[in-house]
């Protein structure tokens, strides 16, 4: 599984150019390459980042291996469950990445750090989002509609 994650991350960097998978550690250093994240409490955020340019509004399709997906509805203007292991989210504000951040676990939500109004979009109350294998496909909003921007995969161990 780890080789598949590395291969997908490398393909995303080579094929899709300006957008690439990465994570940012607590010191603010961005890590590219191997997208296995051993401990989500040691990172600030993870997702697909763009190389420069103005911030964009992204739509993300997120596939997960474990049936658990908890969200703070205040962060997104639209989100929906697509399947038993897939959700789609549209950012409310322009950002430089399509991904997850803002909790003490780098965007993953655990029972002990739930947002004020959590929604269990996939799974039931009490599920934890890690360990999980996550594939993110990002689409950029353009005047012609949503255009494919990039794809990456992350294996979150805890």
DSSP 63-76: EESSS-EEE-GGGE
Q: How far is CA 150 from CA 27, 56, 59, 105, in A?
A: 26, 13, 11, 24
Confidence at 136, pLDDT banded by 50, 70, 90: very high
Which domain does 26 fall in, by range?
2-156
The domain tally of the chain equals 1
**Parallel, antiparallel or unpaired: strands 43-50 and 97-101:** antiparallel
* Cα–Cα distance measured from residue 28 to residue 7, given in angstroms and rounded to the nearest whole number: 25
Q: What is the four-CA torsion angle of 122, 127, 131, 132, rounded to 10 degrees? A: 0
Q: Given pLDDT bands bounded at 50, 70 and 90, which one contains residue 129?
A: confident
Report the distance separating Cα 59 and Cα 78, nearest Å: 9
- What is the Cα–Cα distance from 105 to 79, expressed in whole angstroms? 21
pLDDT tens-place string over residues 8-32: 443 333 334 478 899 999 998 988 8
State the average pLDDT over residues 135-145.
Answer: 92
Burial class (CB in 10 A: 0-12, 13-18, 19+), 64: buried
User: How far is C-alpha 14 from the geometric centre of its chain's CA atoms?
Assistant: 19
Strand partners, 95: 56
Q: Say which residues have a Cβ less than 8 Å from residue 83's Cβ, sequence separation at least 6.
A: none
Question: What is the spatial distance between Cα 47 and Cα 40, in angstroms, rounded to a whole number?
Answer: 13
Q: What percent of the chain has pLDDT over 90?
A: 23
Per-residue pLDDT reduced to its tens digit, 81-101: 899 999 998 887 888 888 888
């Amino acid at each position: 599984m780890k080789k598949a994650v590395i291969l997908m991350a490398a393909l995303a960097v080579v094929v899709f150019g300006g957008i690439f998978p990465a994570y940012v550690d607590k010191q603010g250093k961005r890590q590219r390459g191997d997208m296995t994240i051993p401990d989500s409490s040691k990172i600030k955020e993870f997702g697909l980042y763009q190389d420069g340019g103005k911030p964009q509004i992204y739509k993300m399709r997120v596939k997960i291996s474990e049936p658990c997906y908890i969200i703070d509805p205040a962060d997104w203007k639209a989100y929906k469950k697509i399947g038993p292991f897939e959700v789609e989210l549209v950012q409310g504000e322009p950002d430089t990445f399509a991904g997850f951040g803002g909790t003490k676990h780098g965007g993953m939500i655990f029972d002990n750090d739930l947002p004020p109004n959590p929604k269990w979009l996939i799974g039931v109350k009490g599920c934890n989002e890690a360990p999980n294998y996550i594939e993110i496909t990002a689409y950029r909003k353009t005047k012609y509609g949503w255009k494919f921007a990039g794809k990456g995969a992350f294996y979150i161990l805890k």
